[in-house]
A and B are shown apart, each in its own frame.
Chain A
């Protein structure tokens, strides 16, 4: 069984090292989330092929900060530190909200979900397809962080106030992430390029 990933809280984590990172501030304009993401990702070197997935994953972190952190309050900003290198992508996104107080609850929910995944208990998995927090609404897919803890393979780490998150992805090859479906077994497997 692969190790079940968790969100951690540790503002002394190396992912919070801001040295050499670029910096931008954005307003909490929900309509501009994908635009902000495109501004950031234009700094990514061309050798990185997984733009599509990377854009999507960065967009989710920006969305969380604007929607759940700043609650779309136009008076509040988000602060973004970012670093794109061929072998490594890191971001720190900080909002001006009260912090993600439900990290332990989310980790517990996610652990139960992944246990179903690894044991193949699909009936039980159906209870865990969407995390609903205290402030969740129909706008929330409830699955963004499921993918985030898998994609950001250097970690998803919050600061002590929990209003700032540091994420990092180490890129071992530049063929991007590709999956295929094994038609005979109807299960998914990752394929090598």
Chain B
């Protein structure tokens, strides 16, 4: 897994590349901790280059969502691929995830302060 970070003002977009699995879930969790003290107000994760995720990865995303709420960072997930969406659906936790239809929608979500 590789992370490519782009920052524009108070908004940071992190594009995740590669498999998100038990071997790098901790690194994914740390994404949100790395935003502390950054002054970032909005965070968007892009999954367009993720073709595999497992329960450890889903657990990391749940941790990121909850921590973002606590830190008052607006968050959105964009460009979810079929494998990522399938597993989220199977867990029946879909409603917990701030899923955007596209990167444009994700930007609208975080900039309007509304997650859904």
Q: Is the interface of A mostly helix, strand, loop or mixed?
A: helix
B-side residues, CB < 8 A to A, are: 21-23, 25-26, 29, 51-60, 62, 66, 82-83, 85-87, 89-96, 99, 101, 116
A142: Cβ under 8 A from any B Cβ: yes
By beta carbon, the residue of chain B nearest A64 is B55
B54 pairs with A117, CB closer than 8 A: no
Interface-facing stretch out of A87-95, A133-141, A156-164: A133-141
Taking A140-B56, A144-B54, A146-B92 as given, write out 10 further A-B residue pairs in contact, using a Cβ cutoff of 8 Å, ordered by the A residue number. Answer: A52-B86, A59-B54, A122-B95, A140-B55, A143-B91, A146-B93, A150-B90, A150-B91, A178-B82, A179-B85
Q: How many A-B residue pairs have CB under 8 A?
A: 97
- Name the one of B21, B58, B66, B85 contacting A143, with C-beta atoms under 8 angstroms: B58
B90 pairs with A151, CB closer than 8 A: yes
By beta carbon, the residue of chain A nearest B93 is A129
By beta carbon, the residue of chain B nearest A177 is B86
Q: List the B side residues contacting A140 at CB < 8 Å.
A: 55-56, 59
In the bound complex, CA of A144 to CA of B62 (Å): 13
- Shortest Cβ gap from B72 to chain A (Å): 16
Q: Is the interface of B mostly helix, strand, loop or mixed?
A: helix
A56: Cβ under 8 A from any B Cβ: yes
Q: List the A side residues contacting B29 at CB < 8 Å.
A: 138
Interface magnitude class on chain A = 35 or more
By beta carbon, the residue of chain A nearest B51 is A52
In the bound complex, CA of A186 to CA of B109 (Å): 13
B89 pairs with A179, CB closer than 8 A: yes
Q: List the A side residues contacting B53 at CB < 8 Å.
A: 56
Known contacts A56-B52, A139-B22, A143-B93; is-contact A179 B86 (Cβ 8 Å): yes
Q: List the B side residues contacting A146 at CB < 8 Å.
A: 90-93
In the bound complex, CA of A143 to CA of B86 (Å): 14
Q: List the B side residues contacting A144 at CB < 8 Å.
A: 54-55
The 9 closest A-B pairs by CB, nearest first: A141-B59, A144-B55, A141-B55, A147-B90, A146-B91, A179-B89, A117-B92, A141-B56, A188-B94
- Shortest Cβ gap from B48 to chain A (Å): 15
B22 pairs with A33, CB closer than 8 A: yes
A172: Cβ under 8 A from any B Cβ: no
A130: Cβ under 8 A from any B Cβ: yes
B96 pairs with A129, CB closer than 8 A: yes
B21 pairs with A34, CB closer than 8 A: yes
